[in-house]
C-alpha cells in the first residue's frame, strides 16, 4: 500500500511553510511523505533586490526548507503576481497530483487579499478533477485526493472559519526553525511581521483550542470529502 502523503500548495515560496509547516512536520514525524508546491517563487517581494536576484534567494530558501522537513519541493513555472487560472496551469498541478499521489492537500482558502492565492486555490480544485479521471491519459496514472483543507494564512482571512484545531505543540519549535529557513521570515525587510504573526498565532490558537500550540484548518463547504477518512492526524 502506498504511503500516506501530505501535499501543501502555496501561491509563493514560503506560503506552504508558514500556513502548513507545523502540519508537515507533524505528519512527517508520523511517517507520511510530504511535498511542498509553490505556484510561483514570489520573486517580486523584496523592497530593494531585483526580481532576478531575489529569485535565486527564494529558490535556495525553498530547497533549505524542503531539506529541513524532508519534503519534495516543486515550483511551478509562473511569475509572482502573474499566475492565471489556465488549462496549462491546471494540468501542471494535476500532473503533480498524479506524480506524488497525495492523500491530503492543504492549500489557500479563496477569501484572500492576494490574487495569486485565489488563483492557486482555483487551480488546485480544477486539477483534482483532471488528476482523478482515468480517461485523461497522462504520464502518471489517475489519482483521487482524499481530502482538501485550508490552513490559516494571514492574507486569506476573508470569511475564513477555523473549523478544526490541531495540536502542534510537539513540533512547534521546529516549525519556528522552518520559518527561519526563509529570508522573508528571518530578516526584517518584509512589510509584514511574518515570524511574529505565526509565532503568536500558534499561541493564540493553542489557547482557544485547549493546547499549548495549535494550528487551524477550514473545511470545504461544498465538497463531501472528509479529512478523517483520509487519515489526517487531527488529534
**CA 31-167-116 angle, 5° bins:** 80
Nearer to Zn ion, 80 or 167 (CB): 80
> Which listed range, 5-13, 85-93, 167-175, 187-195, lies at the site for Zn ion (CB under 5 A)?
5-13
DSSP for residue 140: S
Number of residues that bind Zn ion (CB under 5 A): 3
Closest contact distance (angstroms) between CB of 218 and Zn ion is 17
For strand 147-151 and strand 214-218, is the pairing parallel, antiparallel, or unpaired? antiparallel
Q: Which residue minimizes CB distance to Zn ion?
A: 12
Task: List 106's β-bridge partners, or say none.
Answer: 8, 149
Closest contact distance (angstroms) between CB of 3 and Zn ion is 28
CA distance 121 to 63: 23
> Which listed range, 10-18, 32-40, 66-74, 98-106, lies at the site for Zn ion (CB under 5 A)?
10-18
Contact call for residue 45 and Zn ion (CB under 5 A): no
Contacts of 159 (CB under 8 A, 6+ apart): 109, 111
149, 162 contact by CB (below 8 A): no
Contact call for residue 11 and Zn ion (CB under 5 A): yes
Within 10 Å of residue 29's Cβ, how many Cβ atoms? Answer: 13
Closest contact distance (angstroms) between CB of 106 and Zn ion is 14
CA distance 80 to 153: 18
Closest contact distance (angstroms) between CB of 131 and Zn ion is 23
CA distance 234 to 149: 12
Positions in 12-41 near Zn ion (CB under 5 A): 12, 15
Nearer to Zn ion, 11 or 206 (CB): 11
CA distance 135 to 73: 28
> Which listed range, 6-14, 19-27, 54-62, 72-80, lies at the site for Zn ion (CB under 5 A)?
6-14
**Torsion-angle region of 186 (φ positive above 0: left; ψ -120 to 50: alpha; else: beta):** alpha
Here the cell at position 123 is 487551480
Closest contact distance (angstroms) between CB of 193 and Zn ion is 15
Closest contact distance (angstroms) between CB of 174 and Zn ion is 22
Nearer to Zn ion, 11 or 202 (CB): 11
Contact call for residue 130 and Zn ion (CB under 5 A): no
Total residues found in the chain within this entry: 235
Closest contact distance (angstroms) between CB of 207 and Zn ion is 26
Binding site for Zn ion (CB under 5 A): 11-12, 15
Amino acid at each position: 500500500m502506498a504511503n500516506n502523503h501530505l501535499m501543501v500548495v502555496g501561491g509563493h515560496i514560503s506560503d506552504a511553510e508558514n500556513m502548513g509547516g507545523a502540519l508537515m512536520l507533524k505528519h512527517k514525524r508520523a511517517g507520511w511523505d510530504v511535498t511542498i508546491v509553490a505556484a510561483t517563487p514570489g520573486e517580486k517581494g523584496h523592497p530593494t533586490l531585483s526580481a532576478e536576484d531575489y529569485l535565486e534567494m527564494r529558490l535556495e530558501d525553498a530547497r533549505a526548507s524542503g531539506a529541513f522537513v524532508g519534503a519534495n519541493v516543486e515550483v511551478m513555472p509562473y511569475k509572482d503576481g502573474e499566475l492565471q487560472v489556465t488549462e496549462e496551469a491546471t494540468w501542471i498541478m494535476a500532473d503533480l497530483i498524479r506524480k506524488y499521489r497525495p492523500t491530503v492537500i492543504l492549500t489557500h482558502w479563496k477569501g484572500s487579499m492576494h490574487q495569486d492565492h485565489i488563483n492557486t486555490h482555483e487551480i488546485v480544485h480544477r486539477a483534482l478533477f483532471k488528476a482523478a479521471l482515468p480517461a485523461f491519459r497522462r504520464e502518471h496514472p489517475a489519482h483521487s485526493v482524499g481530502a482538501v483543507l485550508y490552513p490559516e494564512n494571514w492574507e486569506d482571512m476573508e470569511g475564513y472559519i477555523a473549523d478544526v484545531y490541531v495540536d502542534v505543540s510537539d513540533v512547534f519549535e521546529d516549525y519556528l526553525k522552518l520559518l527561519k529557513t526563509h529570508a522573508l521570515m528571518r530578516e526584517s525587510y518584509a512589510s509584514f511581521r511574518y515570524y511574529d504573526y505565526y509565532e503568536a498565532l500558534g499561541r493564540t490558537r493553542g489557547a482557544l483550542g485547549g493546547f499549548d500550540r495549535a494550528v487551524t484548518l477550514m473545511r470545504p463547504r461544498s465538497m463531501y470529502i472528509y479529512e478523517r477518512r483520509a487519515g489526517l492526524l487531527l488529534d
